[in-house]
Amino acid sequence: MPESSSPSVRVPVEERLFSLVLALVATENGLTKNEILSTVQGYRQRFTPGGDNASLERQFERDKDDIRDLGIPMETVEPPGEQGNNHLMRYRISKGDYDLPSDLTFSAQEITLLGLAATVWRQGSLSAESQRALLKLRSLGIPSDDPVIGYAPRLRTRESSFEPLRSALERHTIVTFPYLKPGDAAPRRRSVSPLALVQHRGRWHLYGIDEDAAAPRTFLLARIVGTPRSTSKTFPLPEGGGFADRALGELDALWRSQRATVRVVPGSDAETRLARRPDSSADLGGVLTLHYTDVDILADELAAFGPEVEALSPGDLRAAVVKRLTMLANAHSASSENEED
C-alpha cells in the first residue's frame, strides 16, 4: 500500500515546520510544492497522489508565512522561461543566509552552557521520520548536506492551556477557563464547546461555541490566564465540519481587512523585521503598511522597538503604543527615584 494512503497520524506543528526547514536547507536547488507535500513529514501523511490536496496546499501557504515570521529566509525561485508557473516554482532556504556569522566564536564556558541547553533536545541525530524524508529527497535526485541537519527538536512553544484544551476537544466536552481581554481589569470565566485548535501567524487560537453567547468565537490562548478545566458536559458536533479551515479563514479575512501604517527609522532593526512581515509594503518615505489580526498584539510588537518606529494609524493602534511607552517611561522614572532615595 502506498505510504501516502496509510492512516493519518497527528504531527505536531513544530515538527512539521522543522521538517520543512530541514528539507529546504538540505536541498541546494530547492523543492517544488508537489515535492514538499509528497515527501516532507507532516504533509506526506495527508498527501493524495493525483488527488485533491487543496486543504494541504492552504496549510503549506500558512506554514510559509509562519517560517518567514520567525525570520527564516525562505526564498522562491522561478525557472527560466516559466515565470508565473506555480507548479514549477521552487522553494529553498539559502544555507549561507541561515548560517551563523563566520566570525562568531564561543568560549569554553559558552560551549558548556550550550551543551546544557542541548539537553532539552530529544536526541543527537535525526529522527526516523526525518531520516526517511531525507532518503526520499535523495531518491528524487536532489543533493543534500547532512551536517546541516544533525539534530531534531523537542522544545514546545505552546501555551500551557494547549493540552487541556486538546483533551477537551478530543472528548467533545465543554471546557471553562478565565480569559483576560485587553482593557479588562480582571479575567472573565468563559464556557466553550471546543471545535478546533489552530495556529495563525505563529499564535495558537481556540475556535468554539461560546456557551454564554450561544455563538462561535475565537480565543487567543495567550489570554487564557489559568488552567482550562473540562466539565462533565459533552456536546454534539455541529453539522458541516471543517472547523479548523473555518477558523483560519476568518482569521485570514481579519488579517487582510485590517491595515496599519507605521514610520520606521531607515536601516533600523524595526525596518528590517517589520518589512519582512507577510503582505507588508513600503513607500519612499519610510512608511510601512502592515496587516494584523489583533491591535493589542501589534501594539506590543511596535512598542518593543522603542524610538525606531512610530505608529501612525489607525488611531486605536497609535493610542495603544503611546500607552505602553508611557507606562514604560513612568516605570523607569519611578525606579530611578527609588534608587536615589
**Sign of the alpha-carbon torsion through 78, 84, 90, 93:** positive
Which ranges of the chain would DSSP assign to H, the alpha helix?
Answer: 13-25, 33-39, 54-69, 95-98, 108-117, 128-139, 162-171, 243-257, 269-274, 295-303, 315-340
For residues 153 and 121, the answer to whether their CB atoms sit within 8 Å is yes
Residue 210 has pLDDT above 90, yes or no: yes
Q: Which residues contact 37 (CB under 8 A, 6 or more apart)?
A: 43, 44, 47, 53, 56, 57, 60
Angle at 112 between CA 106 and CA 118, to 5 degrees: 100
| Domains, in order of start, for the chain | 3-149 (no CATH), 162-255 (2.30.30), 258-340 (no CATH)
Distance CA 225, CA 187 (A): 8
Tell me the per-residue pLDDT of 93-139, one tens digit each, with 9 for 90 and over: 887 766 666 666 666 666 556 555 544 444 444 444 444 454 444 44
Find, among 11, 49, 51, 50, the residue nearest to 132 by Cα. 11
Residue 52 Cα distances to 35, 69, 88, 114, 136, angstroms = 15, 28, 18, 45, 22
Please, are residues 36 and 9 in contact by the beta-carbon 8 Å criterion?
Answer: no
Tens digit of each residue's pLDDT (9 = 90 or more) over 268-298: 989 989 998 888 998 877 899 999 999 999 9
pTM of the model: 0.57
User: Is 90 within 8 Å of 31 (Cβ atoms)?
Assistant: yes
pLDDT of residue 255: 95
Write down the pLDDT at residue 330: 86
Distances (CA, A) of 166 to 215, 219, 302: 20, 14, 32
Percent of the chain with pLDDT over 70: 74
Judge residue 164's burial from the number of C-beta atoms within 10 Å of its C-beta, 0-12 exposed, 13-18 middle, 19 or more buried.
middle
For 161-173, the pLDDT digits (tens) are 998 998 999 889 9
Cell numbers that stand for 207 in this block: 475556535
pLDDT at residue 245 above 60? yes
Local structure of 75: helix, strand or coil: strand
Measured distance between the N- and C-terminal CA atoms of the chain, rounded to whole angstroms: 77
Identify the CA nearest to 91 among candidates 68, 115, 121.
Answer: 68
